[in-house]
Structure 1
Amino acid sequence: MLVAAAVCPCPPLLVPDIAAGAAPELDTAREACADAVGLIAAARPDLLLVVGPAAEAEHGTYPAGSRGSFWSFGEDLSVCLGVGPEQERQLPPSLAVAAWLLRRANWAACPVEGLGVDDRLVGERCAALGREAAERSERVAMLVMGDGSACRTLKAPGYLDERAAGFDRDAARALGAADAEALMVLDESLARELKAAGRAPWQVLAGAARGAGLEGRLLYEDAPYGVGYFVATWS
């Protein structure tokens, strides 16, 4: 059963070594992420499942011990997801950022596993993955990585799209209220057009949370670099 969840953005720029001189711009987001991770640790889970967007070839599970690196972002920095024997399969960037957050928090509350979710996966399939995950243990927690639209400004990765602010507003409201049904009605086609990488992982969370009676809190909402970033807790 899902007992707690933290929702965090997943840009590699969240890692100060990657952001370099621009690192202070995301200090508030980093601290909100730290608070969110602390909350799920306090829930005393038996299993932490880290969920994040992934390319088609990266879709699937990642056991504890899976490693990732940020070399493609210009930094010779590697991370490990939880504690376990080294795995051959490399973490997708979103799970590598999650592994960095957990390392920063000195995570030791429970075992950790990863799930990379193909962002083309339809909502009901995402929700089914979430329901399966929630049944893995009596006390499951989730760290859910994902960004909102990437079209909030002219300089955003996806350029300016007038629909982006409304999409992010709906997503932020749903995440802050732990509203699983509102997450499930986020439009998949619109999310893809707006380059909103969080849609599929959020819908995995929605599936896991159905019937759990969790309450939400939005800790952070902003759009630096024209991308919607949210930090929320469900407990």
Structure 2
Amino acid sequence: MIVAAALCPPAPLLVPGLAVGLAVELDDLVAACRKAVGRLAGADRIVVVSVGIGRAAGRRLAPGTVVSAAPFSRSDHPATPTVRLPYRPASSGPSGDAGRPGTAEYDGYDAVPADAGSDGRGTSAVSLTAGSIVAAYLLDAGAVDAPTFAYQLPHDADPADATRMFVDLDPTVPTGFLVMANGAAAHSEHAPGGDDPRSRGFDADLVTAMSSGDPAQLADTCRVRAGLAAELHDETLPALAALAELARGSGAATAEMLHYSAPLGIGYLVATWQWAAVA
């Protein structure tokens, strides 16, 4: 049962200590992400949704999985400590299936056991997405303790497959979704996609869809804009499409757009959807 969703960008600069020189410029973005993650704090289970390519695609990370920011680290900066995806013993609360790590493989999605990377280096060896890594640090910073699964979708994932991915999770558990996605990556000459004027309209459509709280409108936007997303170097749109599919039967949500900016030529959106009060 989905009760809330938060959208944050999979931006490495959100990992504490990795963007020291940009800290002031990013204050509003960081504050918005903290607020969005806080809206999930009362859920009995958290599900992170991100998009990956190559070995990072098609994986599920179990609660307790060790996550490292090593892929983002610089030699001139102190090493960032590893964190774990939040977990909670099954006996400590009504989390259903979410209190113990899963290790099964299903529907082509490989499950990464919770002790992966227990040598202290985290799970970088199994190719995590930037979204999974950043989400783990956001949840850790927000002191969220609900058992957390992280799903890494293939970049060409069909939204209709989204519901099939989660068949092993108890559907009665109140769940918060943390969707890691950004807008166009073509807002300036230094952006991955250069300076493409179509980026403004693309991101405006995403802002409108997220502000509506309407899963059907978000699904339509993702479908119509899928081709343009590739041209604007946005590889994360399937995560938003998955949210739209997963929330389709839940009706309209109470939506709040918390932040939008493109400080590094990439559109960063932060928003929340809520269907019920999370106790």
Structure number with the higher helix fraction is 1
Identity of aligned residues (%): 33
User: What is the TM-score normalised by the length of structure 1?
Assistant: 0.90
Q: CA deviation at 1:81?
A: 1.1
Match of 2:161 among 98, 119, 125: 125
Give the conservation status (yes or no) of the 8 Å contact 2:159–2:245: no
Consecutive unaligned residues of structure 1, counting only runs of 5 or more, are none
Letter in 2 for 1:98: A
Residue 36 of structure 2 is aligned to residue 15 of structure 1 = no
SS at match of 1:200: helix
**Amino acid in structure 1 at the alignment position of 2:71:** S
Q: 1:135 to 1:210 in 2, by over 3 A?
A: farther
What CA RMSD, in Å, does the superposition of the two structures yield over aligned residues?
2.1
State the partner residue of 2:277.
none
SS in 1 for 2:245: helix
State TM-score, norm by structure 2.
0.76
Distance 1:25 1:137 in 2: 41
- Quote how far apart the aligned CAs of 1:39 are: 1.2
Q: Distance in 2 between matches of 1:209 and 1:106?
A: 25
The SS at the match of 2:46 is strand
Provide structure 2 residue ranges, at least 5 long, that are not aligned to the other structure.
Answer: 88-100, 102-113, 118-122, 275-279
Structure 1 residues 130 and 29: alpha-carbon distance in aligned structure 2, compared to 1, 3 A threshold: farther
Mapped partners of 1:47, 1:70: distance in 2: 23
Alpha-carbon contact 1:2-1:209 (below 8 Å) kept: yes
- For 1:141 and 1:17, the matched residues in 2 are separated by 27
Q: Which moves more between the two structures, 145-154 or 115-124?
A: 115-124
Aligned length: 231
Q: Which has the larger radius of gyration?
A: 2
Moved beyond 6 Å, runs of 4+:
none
Q: 2:230 aligns with which of 177, 186, 192?
A: 192
Distance (Å, rounded) in 1 between the aligned partners of 2:237 and 2:71? 24
Aligned to 1:154: 189
178, 200, 219: which one aligns with 2:258 = 219
**Counterpart Cα distance in 1 of 2:14 and 2:25:** 9
* Structure 2 match to 1:105: 142
